[in-house]
């Protein structure tokens, strides 16, 4: 993930700036240079630098310490390393007191600087992982966690903001994996209930009796094993939001119980005689067409109208293909960071494959596909070949089929494949192909592999 | 077709140039051409540090490169440095046409030990692959055996192998398959 930690080198001497930048680029970092303090501060405004190397002595204009303080004002998180000569070490120590993370005396040993950079970035990586984990732990996703430039989705996001602080029931419809729970969380965490609990229940996962006690709680002795009183999800969500996923799958009895809660905001615990009153906002979701379920007599009409006060219909991913590149880049960045794999991104060719695919499992499927590709990928970026199995998963014959291409193209592919198998060693690839280096070389030329 | 050119800078033994040519031919599917030696530029000498500024030599290489050269690798026996670092085994323009390898610190004699030709050959090949790898867009590799791993002292050069790891090698192949590495 080195690309994600940009570095700035600030020095009035061009040779110093450029040679240092070139050395760091060989390590895979994105490096910018600035020839004076003022330019450095301007650049820091535009780019979130992880590390800034700042020369202590810069004649005319801002000196190193002033530059450091200004950069800190713009980018408090940036680590500043002061570069100094032997004669000015005392001032460098002063710079440390003013907030520099480190100082180095030039010229220094390559090992020293390499270790210093990796130590600082290791710390930064930990800090950023910590922030991600903390966010995951609280799972307080807001609407800006939904990544989209699709006009329909943007309208939906605006709607979530408008309805966030109301108590009205919301019904979210959409195919599996379209992000129904994410939208429900966005509604909850954008409104005035954000500090209160958000409780999610999957109605399809439990049997009728289990779901009943799960939702409403139970009294001691209500059934075998009910050793004490237990609060249900409705009580736990008091003052907050309950998210009832797969609402189309609940039994007629539970539909009746739920209707009562929606009407009166009161219920009995299983085996209880005392009513419990709650202030809960209900957000329900389904991948079924509830209106049709009503017509078929499988879902209560009165409950449907109670639930369907505000309806949000999420489009499937195939109807918002413009979001696929954005989502893919986001997942690559997040998953590679979680898995600790150094990925630079995803190629244009790979994106083409992803955009062309129909995604029956929607965004969740895309996320899983990218995770699988990152786990199995051997390069620093995801290429079209990492997703080739997506196209071939349609139950085609597993036998090798000769592609319908000219013979020359077959030979070209065989050469590239041999080079790949031999990890780029031209001599070994020519042996494997049964030709000598000069023949291979001629063929590479003919097929424009080397042009 | 763009050539990969090899240029001695100052006195460099023909043996060394042959090792370098063989190593380059083993990994890069480009015509390899040896160019006549260039003199070490006087302006690159830093009398205070008794070393040569590699940036100046790389500028000379860029200026004197033939038009049809895809990459130019300079090879020198002088000790290289940049203002920030006390020495360099070599330097490259990342994803660019020019690179340089210094043999100075690859000789056992530099460390006060008797000369060992085999060791010098191995070190030269490793540094050649390393710097040329940078010119074809390879960054430092985390595999300590790979020629692309960062060596900040001679022991680290010795612990690498004279080849790219599977990941770096495959990246090179993909680059050549895409655009011939240019």
> What is the spatial distance between Cα A104 and Cα A125, in angstroms, rounded to a whole number?
22
The catalytic position among B42, B109, B131, B162 is B131
Q: What percent of chain A has pLDDT over 90?
A: 37
CA distance readout (Å), A63 to A46, A74, A88, A344:
21, 17, 13, 35
> What is the spatial distance between Cα B114 and Cα B106, in angstroms, rounded to a whole number?
12
Q: For residue A395, what pLDDT is reported?
A: 40
Q: For residue A430, what pLDDT is reported?
A: 85
Closest CA to B9 of B46, B67, B58, B49: B58
**Closest B-chain CA to A105:** B84
- Residue B21: pLDDT over 70: yes
Q: For residue A215, what pLDDT is reported?
A: 92
Q: Assign A2 a pLDDT band (cuts: 50, 70, 90).
A: low
Top pLDDT among B70 and B178 is at: B70
Superfamily for A2-136?
Response regulator (3.40.50.2300)
- Residue A1: pLDDT over 60: no
Mode of pairing for the β-strands spanning B85-88 and B80-82? antiparallel
- Residue A140: pLDDT over 60: no
- Residue A152: pLDDT over 90: yes
Of A22, A106, A425, the CB nearest to B27: A425
Q: Assign A381 a pLDDT band (cuts: 50, 70, 90).
A: confident
> What is the spatial distance between Cα B164 and Cα B149, in angstroms, rounded to a whole number?
9
Of A15, A420, A444, the CB nearest to B170: A420
Q: For residue A143, what pLDDT is reported?
A: 52
What's the token pair of residue B30?
A: 């480009």
Closest CA to A177 of A386, A375, A331: A331
Give mean pLDDT, residues A177-189: 91
For chain A, the average pLDDT equals 86
Question: What stretches of A39-184 adopt beta strand conformation (E)?
Answer: 51-55, 79-84, 102-105, 170-173
Convert the pLDDT of each residue in A359-376 to its tens digit. 989 999 999 999 889 888
- Residue B81: pLDDT over 90: yes
What's the token pair of residue A190?
A: 């954008």
Q: How are strands ordered across the β-sheet holding A51-55?
A: A31-34, A7-10, A51-55, A79-84, A102-105
**Helix runs in A377-436, H state only:** 388-391, 407-421, 426-433
- Choose the most confident range, by mean pLDDT, from A128-132, A137-141, A242-246: A242-246
Give mean pLDDT, residues A101-123: 89
- Residue A432: pLDDT over 60: yes
Task: Check CB contact of A118 with chain B, cutoff 8 Å.
Answer: no
- Residues within 8 A of B (CB atoms), A 380-409 only: 380, 383
How far away is chain B from the Cα of A196, in angstroms, using its nearest Cα?
A: 46
Which of B27, B44, B85 to mutate against chain A (most A CBs within 10 Å)? B85
Give mean pLDDT, residues A239-265: 92
Which of B43, B83, B98, B181 to mutate against chain A (most A CBs within 10 Å)? B83
Catalytic status, residue B131: yes
Q: For residue A409, what pLDDT is reported?
A: 80
> What is the spatial distance between Cα A250 and Cα A298, in angstroms, rounded to a whole number?
10
The boundaries of the domain holding residue B76 are 3-179
What's the token pair of residue B117?
A: 């030709």
> What is the spatial distance between Cα A440 and Cα B25, in angstroms, rounded to a whole number?
12
- Residue A176: pLDDT over 70: yes
Task: Check CB contact of A15 with chain B, cutoff 8 Å.
Answer: yes
For chain A, the structural domain boundaries read 2-136, 143-315, 320-391, 407-446
How far away is chain A from the Cα of B6, in angstroms, using its nearest Cα?
A: 19
What's the token pair of residue A347?
A: 């190629």
Q: Assign A97 a pLDDT band (cuts: 50, 70, 90).
A: confident
**Closest A-chain CA to B81:** A107
Q: Assign A393 a pLDDT band (cuts: 50, 70, 90).
A: very low
> Between chains, do B140 and A27 touch, taking CB under 8 Å as contact?
yes
- Residue A398: pLDDT over 50: no
Contacts of A342 in chain B (CB under 8 A): 142
Convert the pLDDT of each residue in A278-318 to its tens digit. 999 999 999 999 999 999 999 999 999 999 999 999 999 99
Give mean pLDDT, residues A158-166: 91
Convert the pLDDT of each residue in B30-43 to its tens digit. 999 999 999 999 99
Top pLDDT among A425 and B88 is at: B88
- Residue B45: pLDDT over 50: yes
What architecture (CATH level 2) is domain A320-391? Answer: Orthogonal Bundle (1.10)
Q: For residue A135, what pLDDT is reported?
A: 61
Closest CA to B8 of B83, B113, B63, B78: B78
Superfamily for A143-315?
P-loop containing nucleotide triphosphate hydrolases (3.40.50.300)
How far away is chain B from the Cα of A368, in angstroms, using its nearest Cα?
A: 24
> What is the spatial distance between Cα A182 and Cα A199, in angstroms, rounded to a whole number?
13
Q: For residue A401, what pLDDT is reported?
A: 62
Give mean pLDDT, residues A44-54: 92
Residue with the two structure tokens 């195939």: A318
Fold of the A407-446 domain: Arc Repressor Mutant, subunit A (1.10.10)
| Identical fold between A2-136 and A143-315 | yes
Task: State the CATH number of the domain containing residue B164.
Answer: 3.40.390.10
For chain B, the average pLDDT equals 93
Convert the pLDDT of each residue in A57-71 to its tens digit. 888 788 899 999 999
How far away is chain B from the Cα of A304, in angstroms, using its nearest Cα?
A: 56
**Closest A-chain CA to B90:** A23
In chain B, the number of structural domains is 1
């Amino acid at each position: 993930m080195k690309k994600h930690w940009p570095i700035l080198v600030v020095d009035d001497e061009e040779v110093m700036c450029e040679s240092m930048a070139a050395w760091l680029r060989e390590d895979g970092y994105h490096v910018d240079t600035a020839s004076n303090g003022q330019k450095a501060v301007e650049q820091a405004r535009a780019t979130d630098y992880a590390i800034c190397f700042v020369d202590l002595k810069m004649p005319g204009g801002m000196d190193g310490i002033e530059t450091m303080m200004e950069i800190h004002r713009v980018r408090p998180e940036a680590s500043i390393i002061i570069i100094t000569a032997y004669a000015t070490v005392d001032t460098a120590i002063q710079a440390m007191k003013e907030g520099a993370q480190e100082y180095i005396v030039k010229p220094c040993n390559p090992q020293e600087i390499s270790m210093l950079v990796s130590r600082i970035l290791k710390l930064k990586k930990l800090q950023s992982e910590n922030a991600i984990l903390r966010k995951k732990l609280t799972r307080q996703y807001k609407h800006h966690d939904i990544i989209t430039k699709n006009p329909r989705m943007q309208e939906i996001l605006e709607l979530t903001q408008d309805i966030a602080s109301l108590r009205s029931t919301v019904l979210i419809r959409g195919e599996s994996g379209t992000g129904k729970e994410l939208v429900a969380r966005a509604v909850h965490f954008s409104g005035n209930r954000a500090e209160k609990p958000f409780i999610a229940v999957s109605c399809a996962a439990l049997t009728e009796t289990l779901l009943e006690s799960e939702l409403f709680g139970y009294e001691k002795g209500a059934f075998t094993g009910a050793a004490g009183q237990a609060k249900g999800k409705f009580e736990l969500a008091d003052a907050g939001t309950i998210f009832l996923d797969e609402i189309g799958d609940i039994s007629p009895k539970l539909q009746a119980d739920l209707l009562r809660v929606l009407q009166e905001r009161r219920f009995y615990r299983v085996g209880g005689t005392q009513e419990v009153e709650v202030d809960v906002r209900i957000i329900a979701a389904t991948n079924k067409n509830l209106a049709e379920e009503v017509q078929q007599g499988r879902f209560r009409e009165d409950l449907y109208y109670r639930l369907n006060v505000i309806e949000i219909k999420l489009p499937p991913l195939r109807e918002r293909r413009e979001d696929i590149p954005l989502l893919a880049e986001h997942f690559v960045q997040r998953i590679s960071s979680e898995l600790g794999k150094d990925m630079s991104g995803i190629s244009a060719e790979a994106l083409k494959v992803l955009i062309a695919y129909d995604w029956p499992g929607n965004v969740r499927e895309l996320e899983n596909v990218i995770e699988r590709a990152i786990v199995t990928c051997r390069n620093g970026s995801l290429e079209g070949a990492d997703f080739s199995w997506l196209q071939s998963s349609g139950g085609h014959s597993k036998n090798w089929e000769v592609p319908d291409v000219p013979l020359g193209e077959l030979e070209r592919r065989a050469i590239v494949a041999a080079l790949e198998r031999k990890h780029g060693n031209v001599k070994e690839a020519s042996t494997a192909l049964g030709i000598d280096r000069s023949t291979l070389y001629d063929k590479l030329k003919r097929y424009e592999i080397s042009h | 077709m763009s050539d990969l050119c090899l240029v001695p800078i100052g006195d460099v033994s023909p043996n060394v140039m042959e090792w370098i040519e063989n190593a380059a031919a083993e990994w890069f599917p480009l015509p390899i051409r040896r160019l006549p030696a260039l003199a070490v530029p006087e302006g690159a000498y830093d009398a205070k540090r008794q070393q040569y500024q590699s940036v100046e030599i790389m500028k000379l290489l860029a200026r004197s490169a033939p038009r049809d050269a895809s990459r130019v690798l300079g090879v020198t026996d002088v000790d290289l440095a940049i203002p920030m670092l006390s020495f360099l085994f070599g330097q490259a323009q990342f994803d660019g046409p020019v690179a340089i390898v210094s043999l100075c610190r690859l000789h056992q004699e530099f460390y006060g030990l008797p000369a060992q030709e085999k060791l010098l050959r191995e070190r030269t090949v490793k540094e050649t692959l390393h710097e040329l790898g940078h010119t074809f867009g390879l960054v430092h590799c985390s595999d300590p055996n790979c020629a692309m791993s960062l060596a900040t002292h001679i022991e680290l050069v010795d612990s690498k192998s004279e080849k790219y790891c599977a990941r770096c090698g495959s990246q090179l192949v993909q680059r050549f398959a895409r655009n011939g590495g240019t």
